[in-house]
Amino acid sequence: MGRLLRKLGLSPQRPLARAYQRDPELVESWMREEYPAIVRQAKRCGAHIFFVDESTVRSDYHSGTTWAPVGQTPVVEVTGARFKVNLISAVSPRGQLRFMRFDGSFKIAVYVDFVRRLMLNADAPVFLVADGHPVHRCRAIRELAAESDGRLCLFFLPAYSPDLNPDELVWGYLKHHKIGKLAIKGPGHLKQRVRAVLRSLQKIPALVRSMFQHPSVRYAA
């Protein structure tokens, strides 16, 4: 059966999860009409487009494989304790990356603080693209945009479409290719390694830009 399926051009693959509430027409409209309009608007006023997202890096997440003799599964000694690091970041098609670590749950104060820092360090207006999380749409951030004199404009991705956000690929790089392959010893070690990986990524704009070539986010390159 396997040989027959391969002759038909099929291969075993891990399926992608898609929310059934997702509206394909809205997704298509975003990629073909709405986002190109945002790009044109950004060019007119010299703005930088950033995609923002939050994530958590856990100590018990592991990824990758290694070589070992057949029948002898390798063992890596790690801490049995469970802890995490909460992060928020923003990434631009130009290869810019900004990030911040925060304690506790993701709340309005955290988001407003991050956006203020993003605006402070930007040498041009910021066009911020986010998903529909309630914090992203809160009154405080809308008031901040209204009072910014055009230095902050807010835009939102179609509902249930995290794959359209290039910032998700930053988290994938951090978790799957870096932290998930380390033997984390404690909370301090996890924080230090997360910070080191993200700061290193900030110094490689070409790598950040390459993430925008992934098929699901190539529209934003």
pLDDT, tens only, 166-198:
999 999 999 999 999 888 889 999 999 999 999
Greatest CA separation for the chain: 65
The chain-wide mean pLDDT, for the chain, equals: 93
pLDDT of residue 113: 97
- CA 164, 124, 154, 57 torsion-angle sign: positive
pLDDT of residue 63: 86
Residue 17's pLDDT band (boundaries 50, 70, 90)? Answer: confident
pLDDT of residue 12: 86
Average pLDDT value for residue range 113-136:
95
pLDDT of residue 13: 86
Question: Contact at 8 Å (CB) between 133 and 52?
Answer: no
Average pLDDT value for residue range 11-27:
84
pLDDT of residue 77: 79
Residue 20 has pLDDT above 90, yes or no: no
Residue 64's pLDDT band (boundaries 50, 70, 90)? Answer: confident
